[in-house]
Amino acid sequence: MKNDSSHQEGSSIGPDITRREWLLRLGGTAVLMGFRGSPAASQGGPGPVKTSQLPPGLYYPSLDHMTHALESDRRFIPIPAGSETDFLRPPSGPFQPQFFSPADLAVVRRLVALFLGEADGKTELAGTEAEISEWIDLEVYYSKAVREAAQHLLPQHRALAIAYYGEHEVTALETHDPQKVWREGLEWISAESSRRWGKAFLEVPSTSQAELLKSLSGRAGDNDAGARLYVLLKEQVARGFYTSQRGLKELDYKGNGFYAECPGCGR
């Protein structure tokens, strides 16, 4: 049999990484051999390969978390502060909206509160509307970049997305403009509030605010600015709530953490 050196343990499969390092990064060899620390450090080899050298969508597992999980005998392994996937950062000051103006964000927050059933300011969900509103602001802010990325997918990547999600979903991602829906929708709410009561939306009683929002629920199929905003807001409130701290608690969500064993297994 021909001896193919490309299959040897230390052979290179890329410009800066060997087959052995690749296996260690995938984690299987690390678990079997009781590996600790960085693959590069154990072999005196090069440091981590830059993400730009990998094919699109292919990324390394976290050696940081793998080491913590292997060295702990606890059932739940919290993410150490400052680690590479410790995304949550405590705010150092008041939230600064990226897309909405502070005045518009106040309207968004009130609309979210009404959707959650807060008509009089007294509800067990009070405070959750702020978390959801901030999430909506960030999602709307980044929607333009997401749309542009979808429009520039390589043909083979777009075909794969269509096969997985369906052409309707992919086309919607390429064409949907949440920023436009929110701009026009907030203008519609302001104009409608002035037409009905001669006041700004936040200045009218909560019952009137709820009345205006309810009037849109029966026109979800219409194509005016108010109806389009209602459909988008309803979707975003649902997604925002069930990814908020309160919503995840309601779902008894077990993700966003490392476990020494699968939660619920063996019981």
SS3 208: helix
Q: What share of the chain is helix, strand, coil (3-state, %, to 5)?
A: 55, 0, 40
- Tokens in use for 70? 């292997």
The β-bridge relationship of strands 258-259 and 76-77 is antiparallel
Q: How far is CA 151 from CA 56, 110, 154, 179, 218, in A?
A: 16, 33, 9, 17, 33
What integer is the mean pLDDT of 240-259? 76
Give dist(CA 105, CA 108) in Å, integer: 5
What value does the mean pLDDT of the chain take? 74
DSSP-derived letter for residue 252 is T
Q: Is the pLDDT score of 20 beyond 60? A: no
SS3 110: helix
Q: What pLDDT is attached to residue 122? A: 53
What integer is the mean pLDDT of 118-131? 67
- In the chain, the amino acid numbered 71 is E
Give dist(CA 133, CA 127) in Å, integer: 10
Give dist(CA 140, CA 61) in Å, integer: 29
pLDDT band for position 212 (cuts 50, 70, 90):
very high
- In the chain, the amino acid numbered 106 is A
- Tokens in use for 8? 């040897």
What integer is the mean pLDDT of 13-33? 49
Give dist(CA 81, CA 12) in Å, integer: 35
- In the chain, the amino acid numbered 124 is E
Tokens 């001669």, located at residue: 198
CB 146 within 8 A of CB 173: yes
What integer is the mean pLDDT of 207-221? 85
Domain boundaries, the chain: 5-77, 102-251
CB 100 within 8 A of CB 179: no
User: What's the pLDDT tens digit per position in 67-104?
Assistant: 656 666 665 566 666 665 555 566 678 888 999 999 99
Q: What pLDDT is attached to residue 12? A: 45
